[in-house]
Amino acid sequence: MFLEDVNAKPYQIDRMLMQLKLAGKLNKVRGMVFGVMLKCKQSDTQEYRLQEIVLRTIEEYSFPILYGLPSGHTESGSLTLPFGVEATLNADDRYLELEEGAVE
């Protein structure tokens, strides 16, 4: 699952994830990748990070999570992520590898 947004507050991301969770949509997720999430913070003085909100909301799931993939809204170059292709997510080494081409 790839998620990204811009100018969303952490509590808004929490609500979005909770809606997916309560609807049972996270039960089939095998990996979660977040984009850069530009300006997704409450204020400059907030004491928590978006990653902490995400982990608290989905703590019972065991899928890997990768943060900061430069796709979607970014300040520099952006990777194109095709829909429906097999991919390998390695959150420990921080990479997402597409296993097949998007077109034939």
Q: What's the length of the chain? A: 104
Which of 27-31, 46-50, 81-85 shows the highest mean pLDDT?
27-31
Is the Cβ–Cβ distance between 6 and 38 less than 8 Å? Answer: yes
Name the band, by pLDDT with cuts 50, 70 and 90, for residue 49: confident
CB 96 within 8 A of CB 88: yes
User: Looking at residues 55-82, what average pLDDT do you find?
Assistant: 88
The answer to whether residue 38 scores a pLDDT higher than 80 is yes
DSSP letter at 65 equals E
Task: Taking residues 12-30, report their average pLDDT.
Answer: 94
Q: Note the pLDDT of residue 62.
A: 92
**Residue 51, φ and ψ in degrees, nearest 5:** -60, -35
Structural tokens at position 4: 């990204």
